Amino acid sequence: MKYIQENIFNNPKMLPTRDGFGKALVKLGEINEKIIVLTTDVAGSVRANWFAEKFPKRFFDLGIAEQNMISVATGISLENKIPFATTFGVFITGRVWDQIRVLVSYSQTNVKLVATHTGVTVGEDGATHQILEDIALMRVLPNMTVIVPSDFNETKKAIFAAADFKGPIYIRLGRQKAPLITTDDAPFEIGKSQKLRDGNDVTIVACGVLVYEALLAAEKLNKLGISARVLNMHTIKPLDVDSLLEAAKTTGAIVTAEEHQIAGGLGSAVAEVLSQQNPVPIEMIGINDEFGISGTSDQLLTYYGLRSDNIVGSVKKVLKRKR
Amino acid sequence: MNNIEKKQINNLIEISKQLRIDVVNIIHGAKSGHIGGSLGLADIFTALYFHVLNHNSNDPNWADRDRFVVSNGHVAPIYYTALAHSGYFPVSELSSLRKLRSRLQGHPNSLELPGVEISTGSLGQGLGVACGMALIAQKDKEDHLVYCSIGDGETQEGSIWEAAMFAGHRELSNLIAFTDRNYIQIDGNTEEINKLEPLAEKWKAFNWNVLSANGNDMEEILNAFEKAKKENSKPTMIIFNTKLGFPVSFMDGVSKWHGTAPNDKEAKSAIKEIEEYYLKLNL
Ligand SMILES: Cc1ncc(C[n+]2csc(CCOP(=O)(O)OP(=O)(O)O)c2C)c(N)n1
């Protein structure tokens, strides 16, 4: 079975993950009466408007009141419905963290939290809107499942999986168009990473937008005679410990890559496991303890060193440390 | 009207025209940005920076300045044009809006840009900041005033009402907040999304002095601020009735224009409408 789209390096199809979310919601609405969608004055931006047009009675726009959205979603979940609460990443994590902590995570309610507009690729709106801390904020919460899909197709699968999954779940999506990497056939299972490319010298563990850059990096490394494995770690929590340990054992060196603060994100999660169970050298690509700025998505990926060349650099570094 | 001469008013109106044209041009140049609120607030921001506020662009941190917190930070384009034209930074810098390494971030950054009291962009946070400033001025018996701009959609945030209750309780009569009452938020009309009315009564119930005025009429704006300054027992909320994108007719009441950049054609016709509007005023 082919997991990866053809031609992704020359001419990838470009689609935003938020579109995958919007499409999946409509599909879900058709097959599951229990699906309720909530948003806070950003229906079009998060693509919840597509669901709203088809199922106006199961869609609620709460206005600019995110904290209340989490409380209301909780109440809805207690009435045996499946609420998807969605807004920009900043406003569905940081702004409402205590509501999530008590009502969703502590109470283990069946609330689905979907963030669009995450990371520096939010672009021109700048730092206030570019959440770089949400993975950390969500993964630290007990009972929370955290998913960062790498593309449009994977987003659809993640949304379907979230609807079937019982319990709290956070899904991190993006605003900008991103390369379509995975095929319709590629399997998706919460908590199970995908080996998108095999290799023996090093493993690149990536999530979200950085999966594409990781694949590009592996391609470049191949030309340098370095064989890199690429793991699409779409579930940050629960982390796929087995695949990670296997990768550490076989390749002996790890590079993590994410569009998030290095502190608390995917890299930290990987290090927490490996440092205790098989401490191989790790290098981490991500945001280095700073805020975002305005610019285009493309400019900012380069500005913050989130490109395949940066990953190649980190691989060279980690290989020097490899015993 | 007292103290303000017709000539002065006309002068302010002339300034607001320049600010509006700059707003259209810089958002058009940036290809993104919040044009509707920025144009609708142009008269009020002109009044503040060129008449009402006691401030000094050569000394942005002057201790006795009036404070102005822009809680609805997405209206950065009008904020920046007003700051630039009153001397906080070069007008030529306006065209760097939202570009890589610019000081003119998509939402205002107080560390980067002189004249910005506090970074905003996450709605509902600024009014509480203004309360904190007003509280200290009240406690220390300082004479300066604290102003705060909020959006009507923004008023749906619970934190606005936490600040409202606080200011009413503390009798922060040195606080003058105003609402950009254009009835528009991103998803449509405020009254259809999450009703604000009766808005004036809400503020009154929170122990505020409430005024209302046409926020696109310079004389009414100045009068409202004059009245607010005289209040000595309660915080004041001025509900400024404005039009999204004023005076551009194709933006009026159309929520898309909350945050969409005009294309070449739209920018041109917006500027044409602005020029015609000012021509008709016959200053
Ligand atoms: C806490 C928070 N939630 C959501 C947003 C996204 N957002 C930016 S502006 C806006 C609408 C604001 O409406 P209003 O205050 O009426 O401003 P206007 O459209 O009149 O400029 C929204 C929802 C935000 N910036 N902050």
| Contact predicate A20/A159, CB 8 Å | yes
The last residue of a domain, from among A135, A156, A179: A179
Residues of A in contact with B187 (CB under 8 A): 41-44, 61
Please indicate, yes or no, if residue B132 is contained in any of the structural domains: yes
The chain A residue lying nearest B31, using CA atoms, is A124
Both tokens of residue A273? 């496991």
Q: How far is it between the farthest Cα atoms of chain A?
A: 61
**What would the DSSP string read from start to end of A250-319?**
HH--EEEEEEEESTTSHHHHHHHHHHHH----EEEEEE-S----SS-HHHHHHHTT-SHHHHHHHHHHHH
Please indicate, yes or no, if residue B1 is contained in any of the structural domains: no
CB-closest option in B100, B123, B124 to A299: B100
Ligand 1, residues B41, B72, B127: which to mutate, most atoms within 8 A of Cβ? B72
Based on the domain organization, do A163 and A203 belong to the same domain?
no
Residue A62's Cβ-side half-sphere holds a number of Cα atoms within 13 Å equal to: 21
**What three-state secondary structure class fits A193?**
coil
Fill in the amino acid letter for A243.
S
Residues of A in contact with B116 (CB under 8 A): none
At residue B265, the pLDDT reads 98
Please indicate, yes or no, if residue B65 is contained in any of the structural domains: yes
What H or E segment, with its residue span, contains residue B67?
strand B67-70
Is the ipTM higher than 0.95? The answer is yes
Contact B187 A294 (CB under 8 A): no
| Min distance B280 CA to chain A CA atoms (Å) | 36
Residue A56, pLDDT > 70, answer yes
The enclosing domain of B75 has a CATH number of 3.40.50.970
CB-closest option in A42, A65, A303 to B158: A65
Mean pLDDT along residues B232-236: 98
Separation CA B69–CA B281 (nearest Å) = 31
Fill in the amino acid letter for B21.
I
Please indicate, yes or no, if residue A8 is contained in any of the structural domains: no
pLDDT in tens, A236-295: 999 999 999 999 999 999 999 999 999 999 999 999 999 999 999 999 999 999 999 999
Neighbours of A47 (CB within 10 A): 26
Contact A126 B156 (CB under 8 A): no
Please indicate, yes or no, if residue A18 is contained in any of the structural domains: yes
Please give the torsion angle defined by the CA atoms of residues A155, A158, A160 and A165, in that order, rounded to the nearest 10 degrees: -160
At residue A247, the pLDDT reads 98
Pairing of strands A177-179, A14-16: antiparallel
Based on the domain organization, do A283 and A202 belong to the same domain?
yes
Based on the domain organization, do A175 and A212 belong to the same domain?
no
Contact B193 A61 (CB under 8 A): yes
Find the angle CA(A292)-CA(A297)-CA(A298) to the nearest 5 degrees: 120
**Catalytic sites of A, residue numbers:** 66
Q: Determine whether the shortest distance from the Cβ of B174 to ligand 1 is under 6 A.
A: no
At residue B283, the pLDDT reads 86
Owner of token pair 């730092």: A127
Please indicate, yes or no, if residue A232 is contained in any of the structural domains: yes
Q: Determine whether the shortest distance from the Cβ of B151 to ligand 1 is under 6 A.
A: yes
Q: Determine whether the shortest distance from the Cβ of B215 to ligand 1 is under 6 A.
A: no
The last residue of a domain, from among A150, A179, A208: A179
Residues of B in contact with A127 (CB under 8 A): 105, 107, 109, 119, 121
The chain A residue lying nearest B151, using CA atoms, is A64
| Contact predicate B103/B34, CB 8 Å | no
The chain B residue lying nearest A298, using CA atoms, is B100
| Backbone dihedral angles phi then psi of residue B93, each to the nearest 5 degrees | -75, -15
Both tokens of residue A84? 């998807």
Q: Determine whether the shortest distance from the Cβ of B247 to ligand 1 is under 6 A.
A: no
Mean pLDDT along residues B21-26: 98
Mutant choice from B34, B35, B105 vs A, greatest count of A C-beta within 10 A:
B105
Q: Determine whether the shortest distance from the Cβ of B38 to ligand 1 is under 6 A.
A: no
Residue B105, pLDDT > 80, answer yes
Please indicate, yes or no, if residue A2 is contained in any of the structural domains: no
Contact B185 A41 (CB under 8 A): yes
Owner of token pair 């990473």: A193
Residue A140, pLDDT > 80, answer yes
pLDDT in tens, A58-95: 999 999 999 999 999 999 999 999 999 999 999 999 99
Separation CA B120–CA A87 (nearest Å) = 18
Please indicate, yes or no, if residue B207 is contained in any of the structural domains: yes
The last residue of a domain, from among A156, A179, A202: A179
Q: Determine whether the shortest distance from the Cβ of B251 to ligand 1 is under 6 A.
A: no
The DSSP bridge partners found for residue A232 are A194, A206
CB-closest option in B32, B104, B187 to A41: B187
Neighbours of B263 (CB within 10 A): 10
| Contact predicate B220/B214, CB 8 Å | yes
Based on the domain organization, do A174 and A207 belong to the same domain?
no
Give the C-alpha distances (Å, rounded to integers) separating A322 from A203, A230, A253, A257, B117: 12, 18, 6, 18, 50
Q: What are A's interface residues with B at a Cβ cutoff of 8 A? A: 41-45, 61-65, 67-68, 90-91, 95, 123-129, 293-296, 299-300, 303
Torsion-angle region of A80 (φ positive above 0: left; ψ -120 to 50: alpha; else: beta)? left
Q: Which residue has the higher pLDDT, A140 or B2?
A: A140
| Min distance B259 CA to chain A CA atoms (Å) | 11
Based on the domain organization, do A67 and A39 belong to the same domain?
yes
- Confidence tier at B4 by pLDDT (50, 70, 90): confident
At residue B2, the pLDDT reads 53
Based on the domain organization, do A49 and A121 belong to the same domain?
yes
Contacts of B219 (CB under 8 A, 6+ apart): B1, B4, B9
- Confidence tier at B186 by pLDDT (50, 70, 90): very high
Contact B100 A300 (CB under 8 A): yes
Residue B111, pLDDT > 70, answer yes
Please indicate, yes or no, if residue A185 is contained in any of the structural domains: no
Nearest CA to ligand 1 atom 14: B153
The number of domains in chain A is 2
Please indicate, yes or no, if residue A6 is contained in any of the structural domains: no
Q: Determine whether the shortest distance from the Cβ of B125 to ligand 1 is under 6 A.
A: no
| Backbone dihedral angles phi then psi of residue A181, each to the nearest 5 degrees | -105, -50
Both tokens of residue A75? 């109440």
Please indicate, yes or no, if residue A186 is contained in any of the structural domains: no
Range of the domain at A300: 194-321
Q: Determine whether the shortest distance from the Cβ of B72 to ligand 1 is under 6 A.
A: yes
Contact B119 A128 (CB under 8 A): yes
The number of domains in chain B is 1
Separation CA B18–CA B209 (nearest Å) = 33
Nearest CA to ligand 1 atom 9: B74
- Confidence tier at A2 by pLDDT (50, 70, 90): confident
